[in-house]
Chains A and B, each alone.
Chain A
Amino acid sequence: MPDSTVIAHGDAEAASIANSADTEHPSYLHHHFNSTEQQADASNFAMWLFLLTEVMFFGGLFTAYLIYRNWYYAAFVAGSHQLNAVWGTTNTLVLILSSFTMAMGVWCAETGRRRGLVLSLTLTLILGLSFLGIKTIEYSEKIEKHHVPGIHYSLDSFLDPAHDEAAKAAGDKPLPLDMARHTEVYFSLYFAMTGMHALHMIIGVGILGFMIYRARAGAYTAGHVTFVENFGLYWHFVDIVWIYLFALLYLISRH
C-alpha cells in the first residue's frame, strides 16, 4: 500500500521507494530519510521537543499559581477545601493506571502483540474517559455552588463556612472580605489549569480512538511502532501534569 506522502516529487526513485514492499525500504519510510532507524529517531526527538513546548506552556500557569498561593494562602486553603479529595485521588489513580496500560501498549506494539495492543489502548481509552467523566462531575458541582469565576461567582461559602458542607467538614473559619474575594483567583487558576489539562486529555482520547481503529488493522505491530511510542510520551506527559495539579490544588492544608 503506497504511503501517501504529501506530494509526489515526480522522482522515479522516490516512487519506487514508496511502493517497495521489501524490508530495506518499507512503505512507511519517507524518502528524505536514509533508514527507518533515522526516521524513528527523528520523530521521537521531535515528539520530545513538542513536549518541551508543553512544559513551558503549563509553566506559565504554574508560575501564576505559585505566586498567588503565597500571596493569598488563606484563600487558597479555603478554595482547596471546596474540592473533593476523594474524586481527586480517584482521578489520580485512574491516570496512573492509564499510564501503566499505555506503557503496556507500547510494549505490545514493540513485541508484535496485536491483540494485546488493542486491549491496552482500549483500557487506556476507558480510563481516560473515566477521568473526564469524574472531571465533569466535579465541574458541575463547582458550577452549582457558583465557584466559577465571573459574574456569577459567589463568596458565600467563604464568608459563611458553617452553611457549606465542604467548608464545615474541613473546619474552615470565615474569611475576611478581601481574602474571600481572592478565592476567585484560586478558582481561576483551578479552572485554567485543570481545564487546559482536560483539553489535552480530550485530544489524547480522540487520538486513542483513532489508534485503536488502526491497531486492529495491525498498523502498529508490523515494525512501525513510532506513532504508538510517541503518543505514549504525550500521554505520560499529561499524566505528569496531573500528578502536580493534584498535589498543588487538592491537598493544600487538609489537616
Chain B
Amino acid sequence: MSTNTIVSLPDQSTARIPKNNFITRENGLLSWLLTGDHKRIAILYLISLSFFFFIGGALAGLIRLELLTPQTDLMATDTYNKVFTMHGIIMIFFFLVPSVPATLGNFFIPMMIGARDLALPKINLLSWYLYMAGGILALYTMMTGGVDTGWTFTTPLSTHYVNTNVLTTGLAVFIAGFSSILTGLNFIVTIHKMRAPGMTWFRLPLFVWAHYAASILMVLATPVVAIAIVLVALERTIGIGVFDPAKGGDPLLFQHLFWFYSHPAVYIMILPGMGVISEVISTFSRKRVFGYTAVAFSSVAIAVFGFFVWAHHMFIMGISNYTVLVFSLLTMLVAVPSAIKIFNWTFTLYKGSITFETPMLYAFGFLGLFTIGGMTGVFLGSSGTDIHLTETYFIVAHFHFVMVGGMLMAFLAGIHFWWPKITGRMYPEKISQLAAVVTFIGFNLTFFPQFILGTLGMPRRYASYPPEFQILNVFSTAGATILGVGYLLPVLYLVWSLKYGAVAGNNPWQATGLEWQTQSPPLTENFAVMPIMDHEAYDYEWLEKQQERQKELEVTSAR
C-alpha cells in the first residue's frame, strides 16, 4: 500500500494554535455550562455522549459474557432482561440518536452554511440540559432496579405484568425525546433562514442535507412516541384501559404509536452518519460527490418514505394480512434511496485520488457493513422471510450491522475527520488506523456469527440457548472483546492528542467546506469576515485557486 497522504500540516517548528479561539475566549465552568455557543454545546454533548456510550458498552459486555455459555449462569434471567433493556435504551436514546447531530451537526452546520451560530442558541443549550436530565434519570432507574421490558416497552408486558421502573425510564426517554425535537427544530430553522449570501440549497454540503432530512423526522415523529409513553404511564398508574384487552383496549395500539416513531428513528440515527460519509469520501478521493442532487434528494426521500413503513416491525404481532402486505411492499420502496446513496458514493470513488487516512478507513468500513446490514433489512422487510427471522439473532445482527457497522463507524469517521478543526490538533495517524482496522475485525467477528445464529433459530433476548449454538456465541463474545479495544483506543489517543498532537492548521485535509477555510479551533463567531459562497460544493478547482492566491499573497508580502 502506498504512503500517499493528503495531509498537509503547517511547519511544526513555527505553527501555533491560534490564541483567540472559541475555547480560550472565555474561562470558567459557568462559561461552558451557560454558553450559547453552538461549538461549546457540541463539546458538552461529545463528553456526555461518550460517557453514556461506555455505560451502554459495558452493558453489552455483560450480555456477551453471559452468552459465552448456554446456561443462564452469570446472572439471573430477570437481571439479564434488565441488562439488554438498558443497553438498548442507553445506546439508542442516549447515544445513537444524538450522536452525530448533537456533536458534529451542532458544531458544523452553522459553519458550513456561513452563519455565526444556530438560530436558537438558548434552545440549543436547553436541549443539552434535557439530554442530561433524561440520561441521569435513566442511570438512576438502572441503579434502582432497572427495567426489563426490552427497549420497545411492548404492552401489555410493560403496562400490566412487570413491577420494574417502567415509569421512570419512560420519563427519561420522554425528556430525551424533547432534547431531540429541539435539536431538529433548531437545525431546520437555521438551514432555512441563516445561509450566507450565495449559499443556495444546491451548494450546501451533503452533510447539511442529511441533517435537514433527519431533523424533519426528529420534529414530526418524536412526539408520537412521547404520547405513547404518556399513555403507558396512565395505563400503569390509573389503569385507563387503552392497552388492556380486559377493558376493551388493544395492546397493538401502543406498538403502532411506538413504531411510528421508532422506525423513522432509525433514519434519524443513520442519515447524519450518511452525511459524514459524503464529506469524508469526497475529501479522500479528491472528487465531487457523484450525483450530488440524487444524494441530496435521496436524503429527503428516506425521511419521507420512512414514515410509511413502521408496521414492518409488527408483522407477527397480530396486524391484519392486508397491513402486512402493504407495509412489506412499502418497505421495499424505502430501501431504494439508501441504495442510491451507496451507488453514488461508490461512483465518487471511481477514478478518484484515493488515500487511506483514518476517516477514510472508517468510511470504507461503513460502505461494506452498512450495505450488508441494509440488504439483510430487505430480507426482514419481506414478510414471508420475516416470519422466520424476526425475534431471532438475525434481527440483532441486522440492526447492529447498520447501527454499529454503519452509524458508529460514520460517527468515528466524523470525529477523526473534524478533530483537527475542533481542537486544532492532529491525532496520531498510525495508531488511529490500527484502531479502525481492529474495530472492523472485532465488529465482523462479533456480529456476523449472529446472522447465522438467527437463521439457525436462536431467539433474541434469551440468556440461555441450545448447546449447539455455543461455538458461534463464543466467536461473537471474542469479537466483542476486540471491538472493545478498538473503541477504547480512540479515547486514549484523542485525549493524548489534545496536548501532544501536531498542530493542524486551517485545512490539513485540503477539504473544500467553508469550515476548513478558517482557523482551527475556530473563532467564537466562526468567521472573522462573513463568507460569501461563490462556488459549488466540493469544488476542488476552486480550492486549488484559493491556495495559489494564498501562496502569491505570502510571496508578495514577504518581499
A contacts, CB < 8 Å to B: 5-7, 9-11, 14, 30-33, 38, 41-43, 45-46, 49-50, 52-54, 56-61, 63-64, 67-68, 71-72, 75, 149-151, 178, 181-182, 184-185, 188-189, 191-192, 196
Contacts and interface: CB of A to CB of B under 8 A. Distances in A.
B248 A72 contact: yes
Contacts of A196: 230
A71 B253 CA distance: 13
B136 interface: no
Contact of B189 (A7, A46, A68, A151): A46
Given A45-B189, A54-B223, A59-B223, 5 more contacts: A11-B25, A43-B119, A46-B186, A178-B248, A188-B238
B240 A49 contact: no
6 contacts: A10-B25, A32-B115, A45-B189, A53-B223, A68-B249, A192-B242
B329 interface: no
A46 B183 CA distance: 11
A42 to B, nearest CB: 4
A20 to B, nearest CB: 17
Contacts of A181: 247-248
Give the residue among A53, A188, A191, A196 with the most B Cβ atoms within 10 A.
Answer: A53
B524 interface: yes
Contacts of A67: 250, 253
Nearest to A46: B189
Nearest to A55: B223
B249 A63 contact: no
A63 B256 contact: yes
| Main SS class of interface, A | helix
B525 A189 contact: no
Contacts of A30: 121
A53 B227 contact: no
B34 interface: yes
A52 B219 contact: yes
B231 A192 contact: yes
B241 A184 contact: yes
Given A9-B37, A10-B25, A32-B117, A188 B241 contact: yes
Contacts of B190: 42
Given A57-B223, A60-B224, A38 B193 contact: yes
A42 B247 contact: no
Given A56-B224, A68-B248, A192-B234, A149 B240 contact: yes
A6 B219 contact: no
B409 interface: no
Nearest to B119: A42
A64 B253 contact: yes
B228 interface: yes
Give the residue among B242, B249, B260 with the most A Cβ atoms within 10 A.
Answer: B242
B531 interface: no
A75 B257 CA distance: 24
Contacts of B222: 53, 56
Contacts of B234: 188, 192
B188 interface: yes
Give the residue among B26, B221, B249 with the most A Cβ atoms within 10 A.
Answer: B249
Contacts of A189: 242
Interface in B181-211: 181, 185-186, 188-190, 192-194
A179 to B, nearest CB: 9
Contacts of B341: none
B220 A31 contact: no
Nearest to A13: B525
Contacts of B10: none
B398 interface: no
A10 B23 CA distance: 12
Given A41-B193, A63-B256, A7 B26 contact: yes
B35 interface: yes
Given A7-B31, A32-B116, A68-B248, A49 B219 contact: yes
B257 A60 contact: yes
A151 B237 CA distance: 11
B35 A53 contact: no
Contacts of B117: 32
Contacts of A182: 247-248
A31 B115 CA distance: 11
B241 A38 contact: no
Contacts of B230: 192, 196
A40 B125 CA distance: 20
A57 B224 contact: yes
A94 B289 CA distance: 57
B90 interface: no
B36 A6 contact: yes
B122 interface: yes
Interface string B241-265: 1100001111001001100100000
A61 B238 contact: no
B226 A10 contact: no
A68 B231 CA distance: 14
A38 B193 CA distance: 7
Given A38-B193, A53-B219, A7 B120 contact: no
Contacts of B247: 181-182, 184-185
Contact of A64 (B118, B119, B192, B231): B231
A184 B240 contact: yes
A31 B119 CA distance: 10
B428 interface: no
Nearest to B40: A7
B239 interface: yes
Contact of B26 (A10, A57, A59): A10
Contact of B241 (A49, A57, A185): A185
A12 to B, nearest CB: 11
